[in-house]
């Protein structure tokens, strides 16, 4: 699996170069969804000595989510907004 991921990243990077596009790995992150009572392992994915950051929470399409796929971060984000409206 690791080699497949690295191969895909390399192929995508080559396609970007051909089309004069650049991927900014500093603005990318990886979130690995886990279930309760499972061990958390770190992903090391990168290209040309630059690695994509592994994170426990991220904002995707305007929604804050975490690697446990629960709504705790979203509700904590919404409470101050809702209390200002009252």
pLDDT digits (tens, 9 = 90+) for 14-73: 787 788 877 777 777 777 777 777 676 666 776 677 777 777 788 878 877 888 777 777
Q: What is the pLDDT of residue 74?
A: 77
Question: Domain containing 78: what range?
Answer: 25-85
Number of domains in the chain: 1
Dmax (CA) for the chain in angstroms is 54
Q: What is the pLDDT of residue 17?
A: 79
Residue of higher predicted confidence among 66 and 3: 66
CA count, 13 A, side-chain hemisphere, 31: 13
Whether residue 2 is contained in a domain is answered as no
Whether residue 16 is contained in a domain is answered as no
Whether residue 82 has pLDDT greater than 80: yes
Q: What is the pLDDT of residue 81?
A: 81
Q: What angle do CA 32, 8, 5 make, to 5 degrees?
A: 35
Are the beta carbons of 41 and 2 closer than 8 angstroms? no
Residues 6+ apart with CB under 8 A from 73: 57, 64, 65, 66
Are the beta carbons of 30 and 52 closer than 8 angstroms? yes
Whether residue 3 is contained in a domain is answered as no
Whether residue 86 has pLDDT greater than 70: no
């Amino acid at each position: 699996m690791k080699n497949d991921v690295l191969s895909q990243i390399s192929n995508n990077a080559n396609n970007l170069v051909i089309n004069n596009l650049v991927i900014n790995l500093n603005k990318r992150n990886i979130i690995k969804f886990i279930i309760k009572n499972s061990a958390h392992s770190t992903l090391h994915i990168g290209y040309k000595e630059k690695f994509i950051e592994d994170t426990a929470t991220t904002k995707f399409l305007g929604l804050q989510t975490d690697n446990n796929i629960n709504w705790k971060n979203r509700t904590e984000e919404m409470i101050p907004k809702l209390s200002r409206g009252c």
